[in-house]
Amino acid sequence: MSAESAATALLRSQVDLLDFIDWSGVECLNYNSSHPLPNAVKQGYREDDGLNLESDADEQLLIYLPFTQVVKLHSIVVKGPEEEGPKTVKLFSNREHMGFSNVNDFPPSDTAVLSSDNLKGHPVVLKFVKFQNVRSLTIFIEDNQSGSEITKVLKIALFGTTVETTDMKGLKKIEDHQH
């Protein structure tokens, strides 16, 4: 439990990076056009469990999220259904315009294997040291829990802090230590 509380305490200083996503440059490959990326990422849509991001031709998804400023990424929440939710998620920081052909060309900044706990909304803490200077994030969903043809994602949320400016909202949440 102490580990849990430590994790949540850390989380309190982190901010939902949704506001810092540069929507004009957001790309998603291999998604089903009736279930596009904003369903999983945008405010409001991602809370709606009826709307989800689905893959199209096969079970892999490649999501590219640029940020409006440099951020440090702390943790990530990926929610999905029990069966078709993502399993292996690879994160690449600061790699532009990746395609499925070159995802395996360089090692990811971090890899997360999602458990059913994670799929319910429990955040995955990342290797913070690798995400100190993130301008863009590429999320590669390699496979899903059940190995089915389609991967479904209900929600993707990123938590971290910004580098250049101090976020006033984040400061309020901090109780005894500052960043």
Contact between 56 and other proteins by CB under 8 A: the answer reads: yes
Contact between 5 and other proteins by CB under 8 A: the answer reads: no
Q: Give the shortest CB-38-to-other proteins separation in angstroms.
A: 16
Question: Rounded to the nearest 5 degrees, what angle is found at the Cα of 30, between the Cα atoms of 58 and 154?
Answer: 90
* Nearer Cβ to other proteins (44/99): 99
Site for other proteins (CB under 8 A): which residue of 39, 52, 60, 93? 60
# of chain residues touching other proteins (CB under 8 A) = 12
**Alpha-carbon distances of 39 from 69, 97, 100, rounded to whole Å:** 23, 21, 22
Site for other proteins (CB under 8 A): which residue of 49, 58, 83, 149? 58
Q: Quick one: which segment of 40-48, 91-99, 111-119, 140-148 binds other proteins (CB under 8 A)?
A: 91-99
Q: Give the shortest CB-30-to-other proteins separation in angstroms.
A: 4
Site for other proteins (CB under 8 A): which residue of 12, 97, 169, 173? 97
Give the Cα separation of 52 and 90 in Å (integer). Answer: 20
Contact between 68 and other proteins by CB under 8 A: the answer reads: no
Q: Where are the beta strands (DSSP E) in 14-153?
A: 15-16, 27-29, 53-54, 61-79, 88-93, 110-113, 124-125, 134-141, 152-153
Query: How many CB atoms are located within 10 Å of the residue 116 CB?
Result: 11
Contact 121/77 with Cβ under 8 angstroms?
yes
Look at residues 157, 162, 158 and name the one whose alpha carbon lies nearest to residue 68: 162
Site for other proteins (CB under 8 A): which residue of 99, 129, 172, 176? 99
Please list every residue from 101 through 120 that binds other proteins, using CB under 8 A.
101
Which single residue is written with the structure tokens 């971290």?
160
| Site of interaction with other proteins (CB under 8 A) | 29-30, 33, 56-58, 60, 96-97, 99-101
